[in-house]
Amino acid sequence: MEIGGRDFLNTPPTKTVRFGGSVVATLAKYKQGDLQQYELLKHQLSDPDIKDGQIINWLQEFRSCVTLLGKDHEHLIHTILRLPWLDRSPAVIEEYLAFLGNLVSAQTVFLCACLKMVVSHFIPKRVKICEGGVDISDSDDDDDENLARSFGHCHQALQVILRYVPSTSHFLVPILNEKFPFVQKSSRTLECYVHNLLRVTVYIPTIQRDVLEIVIGKMLKLDVSAPRAAIEEAEERGLQHRSELSEEGLFDMDEDEPGEQGSGLTAHPMAEKLDSLMMVTMSYIRDSCLPKGALDVERTKELFRDLLSIFDKLILPTHASCHVQYILFYLCSFRVALAEAFLEHLWKVFQNPSLAPVLRQAAAGYMGSLLARASFLPVV
């Protein structure tokens, strides 16, 4: 394979300027108590101006002595995991993925650290912004092409780790939940993270229910923070403000602006974030159940069972949730039998005397909501 005009696998690495001895010698001196070259090694790895050739040389040396990188070298490993590998050349990315595979197979103690590093890149790069002494840093609005490429490399890294450590999924789910961005972050940040979480289930289908539970749980927090009355009030204020600007000749009402009716965005910030996350989730459901435009019955049944379980666990007991349940309503629209199964389930909940009255009342409400709004259900 040729990279940069040379055979990457069959030629030695290019020479680059570096200080200190080899990695093996440095680790040996560290074991004897000599920390000078060890600290120099970490300093060079932390250099923001480090070159691609230097990264490749270091990674190749680390791969050759990965069995020596035990728990005592935790700080060194964390320094390596902080290397800016995603925005580098294909040669660096390939070498870094190989290093990750070698590391987790030889030193499983660093599995979670590697997973956290990869998952931390599920959102656009963070830029520091300070206004009036207040830190309002958020993710950079990178172009879609570079962002898609970076996310693709992240999923490639997860698949490499999964290949060497089949039990990765047991450690991954808590990390996915832990790394979920705060709801105060931008819609773009939340949308990217949720998209990547759902993408993980494509090659690790065993965690689909867990991932959907994480996503729906976060959406419910947004939902209860955006009551219907507050959304309508925000929409009215937005329309009134635009009307005033139009009267002053400062705003063309014929042009679509963010937050206008028909633009797809809402004037309420939390509702806007919820809209974007629900769109991503519904797209996932559509693509999962309707590959190539035809309904995959078995896949749809599996997804229905997962969502029904999450509905009972999270949505049904949540007070003042007005929107998230439409994810399940949307799935029911693919086949009448799904809607009938959902209504039958709600009826059983309503009739169950051992359940709390508030749950039975909520079940009745969801039955009425679906029957009143679902145009795909037959009248008779």
Residue 204 lies in a domain: no
Residue 23 lies in a domain: no
The DSSP output letter for 12 is P
Residue 245 lies in a domain: yes
What is the C-alpha separation between 141 and 261, in angstroms, rounded?
25
pLDDT of residue 263: 45
| 114 has pLDDT over 70 | yes
pLDDT of residue 349: 97
Residue 61 lies in a domain: no
Residue 251 lies in a domain: yes
Its domain, for residue 250, covers 235-267
42 within 8 A of 76, measured Cβ to Cβ? yes
pLDDT of residue 127: 58
| 14 has pLDDT over 90 | no
| 1 has pLDDT over 70 | no
Residue 337 lies in a domain: no
pLDDT of residue 261: 43
pLDDT band at 257 (very low <50, low <70, confident <90, very high): very low
| CA-based nearest residue to 17, from 54, 47, 43, 48 | 54
Average pLDDT over residues 86-99: 96
pLDDT band at 188 (very low <50, low <70, confident <90, very high): very high
pLDDT of residue 227: 78
Residue 283 lies in a domain: no
Average pLDDT over residues 85-91: 94
Residue 12 lies in a domain: no
pTM of the model: 0.85
Average pLDDT over residues 27-39: 92
What is the C-alpha separation between 363 and 367, in angstroms, rounded?
6
Give the least confident one: 37-41, 69-73, 230-234, 283-287: 230-234
Q: Give CA separation, 312 vs 124, 309, 342, in Å.
A: 33, 5, 11
pLDDT band at 253 (very low <50, low <70, confident <90, very high): very low
Number of domains in the chain: 1
Mean pLDDT of the chain: 87
